[in-house]
Structure 1
C-alpha cells in the first residue's frame, strides 16, 4: 500500500537493511518447524483424524523424522488438530452408508500388459497458504504415467471427475478398462459411478481401510511430497499449482526414471513399447 522508502523512514530502518532481511533464508529452526507442520498435517489427514499426537509422533519417527511427543502435540494444538477420539471432537449424527462399493479386481496386481488396461486413482491433501488443496490423479499402471489430474480447494465429485475426464480425453480407451480407487465417498457417488459406466469403465475398489490395495498411487504421492511439496514448502496457491504441473507433466512423466519401467521414465517406456509392437 505504501512505498518501501516511506515505510523504512517511518520505522527508522534502512532500505538496504530491509532488503537484506527480505532475502535472508529462513533459519534452520523455522525451516524445520515448517517442514514438521506440513508432515503433521499430511499425516493427520492421511489417517482421517484418527491419530492423535502419540501415534503421529510414532508414525513420523518410523518414517525417519525425529521428533518428540511434546513437539508434535504443540504443532497440533497451534493448528487446531484434534483426533476423533479426543474429548472435544464433535462426531456426526450418522455414519455414511457404504453404497456403490465395487469388488477389488486388482488384488494388488499392479502390472498391465498394455496401456489403458488398468488405471488407479486417488486424492491427496496438500497444505498451502493456511488451507488444504486437494490433488486427484489418475495413473496408467502399464507405464506408471499420470494420465489425468486436477487440483482444487474442494474435495468434491467434480475434483475426481475432472481428473478422470482429462485422462479419458488424452487416451484412446476401449470398454473394459479397469479403474481402481479406495472407498472414499466421492468415488462411490452416483454421479461419478454413472460417469464411469457411461464410458464403459469397470470399477474396482480397495478393501476397507487397506491402503496397500492402492499402493502404486500411494507410492506416487509419497514421492511427490518428498521431492516437491516438502522441499519447496509453497507459500501461495499459484506457486503450488505451477510446481505440481511442472512436476507431473515435465519431470515425473518425461524425465524421472521408474523402477517398474526398467529404469526409464513413463513416456519413454510407452514410446519404446509402441515402436517394438
Structure 2
C-alpha cells in the first residue's frame, strides 16, 4: 500500500548491535521442541519469550550526554501473538525474567493441554530456578538452536514491530519516558492494533475464539 501511494517510512534508521543474552552453556540447554511449528489453535498452549535491549539518553552531573539502557522481557502467546506478561528493567536480571515467567504461567494455567515455554539459549533460561518453575507446573521447556533467530521468529517479529512503531527515530530522555512509551504501545498492541492474519487485535481474537 505504501509503495502504491508513494509513501516512505521515516522511522527506519541504522540499527545498533542486537542484544545477545547468550553466555555459553551455564546450565541445562533444552531441546528445540517447537521446531518452528509456531501455529496452534489452542490459547495458552505455546508461549515464547526473549529479552530485548533499548537505549535512551541522559545528562550526567557534568551535563555530558550519556547512553543508558533498558531491557524488556515479554512472554508471548503463539496462539494470537498476545503479550501475556512482561517486565522492564535497567539491567538484565533474573528477577525480572522470573517474575514475568510466573505471571505468564499463572495466566496460562487454564490450558487443557500440556504447555510449552520456548526461548533462545540465553543465560536466564538455562538457570535451574527457571527450569524448576516450569517443571513444577509440568510445562515443557524448549530452546532455539544456538545463533538461529528464525527458531523464535514470533518473538523477533514482535520486537521488530514495537521498535519500528515507537522506538526507531525517536530520542528518549529518561528511563521513565521510554518505559512508559513501551507500556503504552504494548497495551495498544494487545487491545487495539489489528493483526492482518487475525483480522483484529490479539485480545479481541482470543475473546472471539473462546466465547
Q: Partner of 1:108 in structure 2? A: 36
Q: Partner of 1:119 in structure 2? A: 47
Give the count of matched residue pairs.
Answer: 191
Q: Secondary structure at the match of 1:168?
A: helix
Question: Which deviates more, 212-221 or 185-194?
Answer: 185-194
Q: Partner of 1:227 in structure 2? A: 165
The 3 A distance-change label for structure 1 pair 188 and 173 is farther
Q: Which has the larger radius of gyration?
A: 1
TM-score w.r.t. length of structure 2: 0.83
Structure having the higher strand fraction is 2
Higher relative CO (Cα under 8 Å, sequence separation at least 6) belongs to 2
Matched, 1:270 2:206: yes
Question: Once superposed, what is the RMSD of the aligned Cα atoms?
Answer: 2.2
Question: Is 1:157–1:191's contact at 8 Å kept on the other side of the alignment?
Answer: no
Q: Partner of 1:22 in structure 2? A: none
Match of 2:98 among 117, 139, 161: 161
CA shift at 1:166, angstroms?
A: 2.3
Q: Secondary structure at the match of 2:80?
A: coil
Q: Partner of 1:150 in structure 2? A: 87
Q: How does 1:118-197 map to 2 (within 5 A)?
A: 118-129=46-57, 130-174=67-111, 176-197=114-135
Structure having the higher helix fraction is 1
Q: Secondary structure at the match of 1:179?
A: strand
Give distance in 1, aligned partners of 2:104 and 2:197: 21
Match of 1:218 among 156, 169, 185: 156
Give distance in 2, aligned partners of 1:173 and 1:121: 19
Dislocated runs of 4+, deviation >6 Å: none
Q: Which runs of 5+ in 1 are unaligned?
A: 1-31, 49-94
TM-score w.r.t. length of structure 1: 0.64
Matched, 1:45 2:27: no
The 3 A distance-change label for structure 1 pair 113 and 162 is same
The 3 A distance-change label for structure 1 pair 103 and 225 is same
Give distance in 1, aligned partners of 2:156 and 2:102: 21
Q: Which runs of 5+ in 2 are unaligned?
A: 1-9, 58-66
Q: Secondary structure at the match of 1:232?
A: coil
Give distance in 2, aligned partners of 1:46 and 1:144: 22
Q: Secondary structure at the match of 1:136?
A: strand
CA shift at 1:256, angstroms?
A: 0.8
Q: Secondary structure at the match of 1:272?
A: helix
Give distance in 2, aligned partners of 1:141 and 1:260: 13
CA shift at 1:143, angstroms?
A: 0.8
Q: Secondary structure at the match of 2:126?
A: coil
CA shift at 1:235, angstroms?
A: 1.2
